[in-house]
C-alpha cells in the first residue's frame, strides 16, 4: 500500500474517443481499487468532439441524442458526476488515487483543493494567475445555477480567471479510492453545447451567460499559447507537489484490456448511454 501510494504515474496521452477516455479512467480506478494498479495523473484529448454527461444526468432529458450523432458528436456518460460538457478545444485531466493518499487524500473538499493547487500552479507557470473558488455553492449570479451545462457556474475549488471559469472538475468516490477529472478549456466553442440540448434546455440568453461565465487559455495567451507547454507545466507542478515521486508512464496492458471491455459494454453502448445500464465487475 505504501509503495503504491508513494510512486505516481504521469500518463500524458494523445486524443481518443469519448468512449475510450471514460472507459480508461474507470479501468484505472477499478484496478487501483483492487490493488492491481498505481495512482495516476492522466492528460488526454478528444477525437471526435464529444459531449459527456454526469453519471446521474438522464441523457434523453438533456440532449438531442440523434442530432449529436448526425453531426459527428460522440455522446457518453462519465463515471463521475457534474453536468454536461462539450469536449472540443480542451485538454482533459484525470486523477485516480487512494482516499488516504498523503498528497491528495482526505475529504472530497481536501482533494478538490489539493488537485486545484496543482492546476493553479501549472497555469501560473504559463503566466496566468488563477483563483480557487472558495464558496461552498455555485457562483452564477443568475437563474442558471441549476442548468445542465457545466460552464455556466463555478463550484468550490474550481479555477477562475478574472471571475470566469477556466477549468471544470468532477469527482466521485468508490470506497477506498476516488476518481476526479476535468476539462481545461484551451479554446472557444463551449457555448455550442446548446446546439445539442433539447428545446426545453435552451434559455434564450444561455449562450451569452456561458460566454460571460467562462474563459479559455487562447483568449488569455493569444498566439503564445502552446499545448505542449501546458502539458509540461502540469507535469512539473505535479512533480513539485509529489516531491519528485512521479514518473512518466503508459497504461498497463490490464488497464487497456479492461478499458476495451468497459467501452464495449458501457461507454460505447447506445443502450447504456440512454439509460439501460449494464454492470461490469472485475
Q: Which residues are catalytic?
A: 150
Phi-psi region of 163 (alpha: psi -120 to 50; beta: other; left: phi over 0): left
Q: What is the 3-state secondary structure (H, E, C) of 232-251?
A: HHHHHHHHHHCCCCEEECCC
C-alpha cell at 251: 497504461
Q: Are 96 and 87 in contact (CB under 8 A)?
A: no
Q: Are 16 and 47 in contact (CB under 8 A)?
A: yes
Q: What letter would DSSP give residue 223?
A: G
Residue 48: asked if its preceding bond is cis (omega within 30°), the reply is: yes
The whole-angstrom separation of Cα 103 and Cα 244 is 12
Q: Are strands 246-248 and 85-87 parallel, antiparallel or unpaired?
A: unpaired
Most distant CA pair in the chain: distance in Å? 53
Nearest alpha carbon to residue 48 among 28, 25, 71 = 71
Amino acid at each position: 500500500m505504501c509503495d503504491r501510494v508513494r510512486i505516481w504515474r504521469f500518463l500524458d496521452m494523445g486524443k481518443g474517443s469519448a468512449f475510450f477516455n471514460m472507459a480508461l479512467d474507470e479501468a484505472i480506478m477499478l484496478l487501483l481499487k483492487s490493488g492491481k494498479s498505481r495512482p495516476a495523473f492522466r492528460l488526454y484529448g478528444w477525437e471526435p468532439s464529444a459531449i459527456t454527461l454526469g453519471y446521474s444526468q438522464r441523457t434523453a432529458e438533456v440532449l438531442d441524442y440523434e442530432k449529436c450523432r448526425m453531426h459527428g458528436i460522440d455522446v457518453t456518460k462519465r463515471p463521475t458526476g457534474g453536468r454536461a460538457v462539450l469536449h472540443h478545444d480542451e485538454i482533459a485531466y484525470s486523477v485516480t488515487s487512494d482516499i488516504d493518499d498523503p498528497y491528495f487524500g482526505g475529504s472530497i473538499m481536501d482533494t478538490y483543493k489539493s488537485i486545484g493547487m496543482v492546476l493553479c500552479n501549472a497555469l501560473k507557470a504559463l503566466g496566468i494567475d488563477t483563483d480557487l473558488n472558495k464558496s461552498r455553492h455555485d457562483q452564477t449570479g443568475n437563474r442558471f445555477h441549476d442548468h445542465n451545462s457545466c460552464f455556466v457556474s463555478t463550484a468550490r475549488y474550481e479555477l477562475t480567471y478574472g471571475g470566469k471559469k477556466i477549468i471544470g472538475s468532477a469527482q466521485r468516490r468508490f470506497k477506498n479510492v476516488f476518481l476526479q477529472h476535468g476539462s481545461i478549456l484551451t479554446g472557444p466553442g463551449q457555448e455550442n453545447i446548446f446546439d445539442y440540448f433539447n428545446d426545453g434546455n435552451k434559455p434564450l440568453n444561455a449562450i451569452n451567460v456561458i460566454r460571460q461565465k467562462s474563459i479559455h487559455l487562447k483568449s488569455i495567451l493569444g498566439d503564445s499559447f502552446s499545448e505542449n507547454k501546458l502539458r509540461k507545466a502540469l507535469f512539473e507542478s505535479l512533480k513539485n507537489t509529489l516531491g519528485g515521486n512521479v514518473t512518466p508512464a503508459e497504461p498497463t496492458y490490464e488497464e487497456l484490456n479492461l478499458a476495451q471491455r468497459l467501452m464495449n459494454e458501457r461507454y460505447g453502448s447506445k443502450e447504456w448511454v440512454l439509460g439501460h445500464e449494464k454492470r461490469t465487475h472485475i
